[in-house]
Amino acid sequence: MNISPISLAFKKCKVENRPALLTYTVAGDNNKKKSLEILKSISKYADICEIGFPHNTPIADGGQIQTSAYRAIKNGIKMKDVFQIVKKFKKFKNSKPVILMGYYNMIYQYGENNFINKCKKVGVDGLIVVDLPWPDNKYFAKRCKKKSINFIQLLSPTTSKERMKKIIRDSHDMIYYISMLSTTGGKLKVSPKEILKNYQKIKKINNLKKVVIGFGITEKTISKLKSADGLVVGSTICKEISKSLEKRQNPVTNVSNMVKRLKNKIKII
Amino acid sequence: MKIKKKIPLIDQHDKNGFWGGKFGGNFIPETLKKPVDDLTKLFAKIRKDKNFIKKRDYYFKNYVGAPTPFIKLNNLTNYLGGAQIWAKVVSEANGGAHKIYNATVHALICKKAGKKYVIGDTGAGYAGKMLSMAAKKFDLKCKIFMGAKDIKRQKPNCDAMRKNGAEIVPVYSGSQTLVDAVSECMRYWVSNCDTTHMCVGSTVGPNIFVKICGWSTAQISRELKIQLKSEFNAIPKKLKLINCIGGGSSAYGFWSEFIDYNKKQIELIGVEAGGPKKSKLHAAPLSKGAKLGILHGSASYVCQNNEGQINETESISAGLDYPGVSPIHCFLKDAGRARYTYASDEEALNAYKLVTELESISPSLEPAHAFAEAIKIAPKLSKDTIIICNSCGDSYKDRDILKKRLDKHIK
C-alpha cells in the first residue's frame, strides 16, 4: 500500500517525538511572488503547508485571515495563480505535503472534477473545505480519495459523539479538530487541558487517524498542546505578515523567524 | 422542476435541505452543524404545538397588529387608467415593516430554547429594529450587525435600535453593506452558538432559517386571502401580486397562500433592485441571470464573478442591496411559477414620488421598486385586473436619502 505524503510527514514527527507543525498562509498574500517566497522559506520548519485559496465572503474566518484574503484578492490572485504557486512550491520541495483550504463556492465555480484534477496535477496532497460539512461532503471526499487526495474532515467541540464516530469512519489519514467555538484567530478561551481531553476522545474512537488541533494557536499557547499529533498555526502568521507590511519590513524574514520559533517550542528538549 | 400542491413551499425541500434539488442546503462550518440541527428539531416541534401557535397568533394580533390594512389606491388607479391598484399596507405593522413577524417568532424561539442572547443582521435596519423591539419585549439581550455604509444611510432605524437597548455592531469589511453584516453575524454565532440564538433577517441562510422566516411572514398572505374574499366575495379572476425582492422574505409571505393557484389567475411578480441606471452594479441575481453559487450557507443565484468571488452590489435601497436571494425564489423562478424583473434606482424614486403625491401611504424605497413595476404595467391592463403591491416598509427610515434625491421632507 502506498503511504500518503501526509502520513509520512506525521511518521517523521513521531520519530522525533513531537507534533507536526502545520502552517496556514493565504496564496497571494501579500502578492503572488511574496507568498511563494514565504512558503519556500517556512517549509524549512513546517511539516505540512496549508495554503488558503482566498474567498471574499469567508464566514468562518476572523479578522487576521480576512485581512490576508482581501489583500490577496486585491492584488489580483485567481485560482489559476493559486495552482501555479502550489506547482512551483512542489517543484522546489516535492516532499513537503500541501493542503489546500478554502470555501466551497470557489470549488463549485471551478467545477468539482476540474478542481480535483487540477489539484492532482499540481501536486496537492490534501483538501479542507470549510463550509462543506459531513455528510454533504461524502461524494466529494470519495472522489478526492480516488485521486489519492486526502479530504480532511473537521470536528468541533459541538460535534456529538455519534456524529464524530460517523465522520471519523469516513475520514482519510488526517482529521482537523477545531479547538473551541470560534472563528479562526480567536483568543484561546478554553484551557489546553480541556482541548486535549476532547482530542483524546477522538483518538479513542480511532487511534490510527492523525488528529491536528487548530484555532487559537500562537507562540504563547503552542507548547501546551504539544502532545497532539499536529498543530495548525494560521492567524498568527497572517498577522505577522500584516505587521511586517505596516512596518515596511520583509514579511518573508519575519514570518520565517516566527515559524522557526514556533517549531522550537514544540521540540522535545 | 415542479412545485407540489397543498404543501407549503418552505417544506418542499429534500432531506438534504434543497429545493428543486439544488437550491438551499446547509453549507456551514462543522461548529454550526449542531446548533442548526437543534434549531431544526425545535422548530419542527413547536410549529406543531398548539400552545406555541396560540402564542404566536396572540402576539401577531396584539403586538404586531394583525391584520394590516388592505386598501384600494383610487387616485393612482385613475391616474394610470388601467388595472385597479391596491396595496397591502404591511408597513402599518408595529415597527413599520414585515420584519416584525420573523423577529417576533425568533424571539419566541430564543425563549423556548432557553437562550438569553439574540443576534441578527440588518440592511435597511428594519430587521435589526424589529429584532431589538422583540428582544426588549421578551427580555433578551440583543446585538445587531450592520454594515457601516448602511448605518450612515438608515440612521432613523439605528436610533430606534439603540433606544430599544440593542448594541449595533458596525461592520467595516468588504462593501460595508448587508452581505458583510450577514457574514459577521454568522461569524459571531460560530463563536457564541452555545449561549446565543441567531436570527437571519430574511428567507436566506442555511435551510432552517429560510423556513422559519417564511413560516413567519406567511401571516401576510393569510390575512390577504381573507381580505380578498371579503372585498371581492371571491379570489379575483385576474390578480397580480407584486413584491420587491431582496432576500425575499416579504414576497414569500405575500405569496405563500397563492402559489397553488393557476398562474393565469394569479401572477406573482418579484421586483429586484436594478441599481442606478448608469451603473453596472445591481442587486438583481434572478432577473439579470446570475449563476448558481453558495452564499451564507445556501445555494442560490448569486451575483458573483467567474471565480466565485461575491460581487459588490449597488442599490438606493439598503434592504434590497444583497448579492444573493432566497433559494425558494430560485425555485419559484425555475419552476416558472413567479416572474422576476427589476427596477432601477431612478424608477423606484419616481414611483415613490408618484405614489406619495397621489395617495396617503408612504412606502419605503424597497416597496417603491414594486410600485415601479405596477406603474409600468397597469396602464396596459384591463380594468378588472387587480394589482396588489405589498407596501412592506415605511419610508421614514429613508428620509435622508429622499431629502437628498427628491428634496422631499418626511415627517
Residues B331, B301 contacting (CB under 8 angstroms): no
pLDDT band at B407 (very low <50, low <70, confident <90, very high): confident
User: Could you tell me which chain A residue has the CA closest to the CA of B311?
Assistant: A56
How near does any CA of chain A get to the CA of B194, in Å?
A: 8
Active site residues of A: 50, 61
pLDDT band at B409 (very low <50, low <70, confident <90, very high): low
Residue B80, judged by CB atoms within 10 A of its CB (0-12, 13-18, 19+), counts as buried
Spatial distance between the Cα atoms of A178 and A159, rounded to a whole number of angstroms: 10
Residues A142, B39 contacting (CB under 8 angstroms): no
- B295-354 pLDDT, tens digit each: 999 999 999 999 999 999 999 999 999 999 999 999 999 999 999 999 999 999 999 999
Residue A5 included in any domain: no
Do B187 and A132 count as a contact with CB atoms less than 8 A apart?
A: no
- B85-143 pLDDT, tens digit each: 999 999 999 999 999 999 999 999 999 999 999 999 999 899 999 999 999 999 999 99
> Cell numbers at residue A248, please?
515596511
Interaxial angle between packed helices B345-358 and B399-406, expressed in degrees from 0 to 180 and rounded to the nearest 10: 100
Q: What is the pLDDT of residue B272?
A: 98
For residue B115, the SS3 value is: coil
- What CATH number did the domain enclosing A117 receive? 3.20.20.70
Instruction: Give, in order, the Cα–Cα distances in Å from B384 to each of B82, B89, B381.
Output: 9, 21, 8
| Phi, psi angles (nearest 5°) of residue B50 | -60, -40
Instruction: Collect all residues from A whose CB is shorter than 8 A from any CB in B.
Output: 55-62, 66, 70, 73, 78-79, 103-110, 130-134, 136, 154-160, 163, 178, 181-183, 186
- DSSP H or E stretch at residue A177: strand A174-178
Residue A69 included in any domain: yes
Which residues are CB-neighbours of B312 under 8 A, at least 6 positions away?
A: B174, B175, B281, B323
Q: What is the pLDDT of residue A1?
A: 55
**Nearest alpha-carbon partner for B153 in B303, B345, B310:** B345
How near does any CA of chain A get to the CA of B72, in Å?
A: 43
> Cell numbers at residue B11, please?
417544506
pLDDT band at B410 (very low <50, low <70, confident <90, very high): low
- B58-93 pLDDT, tens digit each: 999 999 999 999 999 999 999 999 999 999 999 999
- B383-393 pLDDT, tens digit each: 999 999 999 99
**Nearest alpha-carbon partner for B62 in B94, B103, B109, B97:** B94
Do B187 and A155 count as a contact with CB atoms less than 8 A apart?
A: no
Residue A35 included in any domain: yes
> Cell numbers at residue B2, please?
415542479
CATH numbers and ranges of domains, chain B: 9-60+98-214 (3.40.50.1100), 65-96+218-406 (3.40.50.1100)
Average pLDDT over every residue of B178-194: 95
**Which of B30, B294, B309 lies nearest to residue A133, judging by beta carbons?**
B30
> Which is it for the CA torsion B296, B302, B303, B304, positive or negative?
positive
Residue B238 has pLDDT above 80, yes or no: yes
Residue B226 has pLDDT above 90, yes or no: yes
- Residue A248 structural domain: 18-261
How near does any CA of chain A get to the CA of B137, in Å?
A: 29
Chain B 157-186, residues with CB within 8 Å of chain A CB atoms = 173-174, 179, 183, 186
For residue B170, the SS3 value is: strand
**Geometric angle at alpha carbon B188, from B392 and A74, rounded to 5°:** 90
pLDDT band at B173 (very low <50, low <70, confident <90, very high): confident
**Geometric angle at alpha carbon A210, from A208 and A213, rounded to 5°:** 145
**Nearest alpha-carbon partner for A143 in A118, A116, A123, A125:** A116
- For chain A, the residue count is 269
Average pLDDT over every residue of B30-54: 97
Q: Are strands B291-295 and B298-302 parallel, antiparallel or unpaired?
A: antiparallel
Which residues are CB-neighbours of A139 under 8 A, at least 6 positions away?
A: none
Residue A100 included in any domain: yes
Do A105 and B293 count as a contact with CB atoms less than 8 A apart?
A: yes
- B246-259 pLDDT, tens digit each: 999 999 999 999 99
Which residues are CB-neighbours of B1 under 8 A, at least 6 positions away?
A: B20, B21, B331, B334, B335
Nearest 10 degrees: Cα torsion B296, B299, B305, B307: 90
* pTM for the full predicted model: 0.97
Average pLDDT over every residue of B163-172: 97
User: Could you tell me which chain A residue has the CA closest to the CA of B324?
Assistant: A57
Q: What is the pLDDT of residue B175?
A: 84
Residue A10 included in any domain: no
Residue A266 included in any domain: no
Residue A34 included in any domain: yes
**Nearest alpha-carbon partner for B201 in B187, B216, B191, B188:** B216
Which residues are CB-neighbours of B263 under 8 A, at least 6 positions away?
A: B336, B337
- A162-177 pLDDT, tens digit each: 999 999 999 999 999 9
**Nearest alpha-carbon partner for B86 in B338, B272, B273, B355:** B355
- For chain B, the residue count is 411
| Phi, psi angles (nearest 5°) of residue B326 | -60, 140
User: Could you tell me which chain B residue has the CA closest to the CA of A215?
Assistant: B191
Nearest 10 degrees: Cα torsion B384, B385, B390, B391: -60
Helices (DSSP H) in B61-218: which residue ranges? 74-80, 99-112, 126-137, 148-153, 155-163, 178-192, 207-217
- Cis check: omega of the bond before B67, within 30 degrees of 0: yes
Residues of chain A contacting residue B187, judged by C-beta atoms under 8 Å apart: 59-62, 183
Q: Are strands B117-122 and B141-147 parallel, antiparallel or unpaired?
A: parallel
Spatial distance between the Cα atoms of B225 and B213, rounded to a whole number of angstroms: 19
Q: What is the pLDDT of residue B408?
A: 67
Interaxial angle between packed helices B178-192 and B30-46, expressed in degrees from 0 to 180 and rounded to the nearest 10: 90
pLDDT band at B174 (very low <50, low <70, confident <90, very high): confident
Q: Give me the residues of chain A with pLDDT under 50, please.
A: none
Residue A257 included in any domain: yes
Q: Residue A25 gets which letter from DSSP?
A: E
Average pLDDT over every residue of B275-302: 97
Residue appearing with cell numbers 483538501:
A127
Helices (DSSP H) in chain A: which residue ranges? 5-15, 32-42, 63-74, 79-92, 104-110, 112-122, 138-146, 161-170, 192-205, 235-246, 251-266
Spatial distance between the Cα atoms of B236 and B144, rounded to a whole number of angstroms: 41
Do B29 and A105 count as a contact with CB atoms less than 8 A apart?
A: no
Instruction: Give, in order, the Cα–Cα distances in Å from A28 to each of A65, A155, A234, B14, B221.
Output: 12, 28, 15, 39, 50
Residue A31, judged by CB atoms within 10 A of its CB (0-12, 13-18, 19+), counts as middle
